[in-house]
Amino acid sequence: MGKSKADEKILSYNDVVLRRSDLDILNGPNYLNDRIIEFYFSYLSSLFPSEDIVLVPPSIAFWIKECPDPASLKDFMEPFHFSRRKLILLPINDNSNVCMAEGGSHWSLLAFHRNSNMFVHHDSSGCCMNEYHSKQVCKVTLPYTASNASYEEYPNTPKQVNGYDCGMYVLAIARVICEWYATSSGNQDADTLWFSRLEQVSPSAVSEMRKDILGLIKGLMA
């Protein structure tokens, strides 16, 4: 009975279905799952609609990383039109087991920015826990961007202060980047990018954002 209650569908938002258990994750000090990240990425896509931007769902980013034959990804990648996007955001997870759904223990964010010809990896762990996984996604994604972009680990990414908020930092940084892109009106300095705005991403702001996302979902349910 408890399991069926947890699996109860509570919201369909674009192509994302949230369940009762997702509310429980947001209610407590818990590690975010794929569905919550996919939901918020979909929400950001609606909040900042642009043909320039694509926020890639976690399941897609995972398959880009773990597909045993990267050459076979062409048809799979085509719908995302990476070659014409100016900003691509990909959530990175350290799970390497394709047989384990909802696996892994750490999230980070990889951002591609065409005007600066760069992939930037933001890892809130403080020790680049996901560097290997991020570089793998970059390596596979790069040919589809029609660029020769370089890769950078951004050292001043805001750091989490606990063992469960990595996914929240991904969402908070993704929002900062989308807001920066939407408000920069094309005046995007390739040297500074969105980096100065990352000061907004503090432990207290991330804690409030968790509550805000919970409130957002409840509001959409009403």
Parse the chain into domains and list their residue ranges. Answer: 9-221
Strand partners, 54: 88
| Domain 9-221 architecture | 3-Layer(aba) Sandwich (3.40)
CA distance 27 to 24: 5
Provide the pLDDT for residue 70. 81
Length of the chain in terms of residues written: 222
Which pLDDT score is estimated for 1? Answer: 43
Q: Per-residue pLDDT tens for 52-84?
A: 999 999 999 999 999 988 888 988 899 999 999
Catalytic residue positions, numbered: 106, 123, 166
Evaluate whether 35 touches 45 at the Cβ level (below 8 Å).
no
Task: Please report, in tens digits, the pLDDT of each residue of the chain (222 residues total).
Answer: 455 788 899 999 999 999 999 999 999 899 999 999 999 999 999 999 999 999 999 999 999 999 988 888 988 899 999 999 999 999 999 987 766 666 788 999 999 999 999 999 999 998 889 999 999 999 999 999 999 999 999 999 999 999 999 999 999 999 999 999 999 865 666 677 999 999 999 999 999 999 999 999 999 998
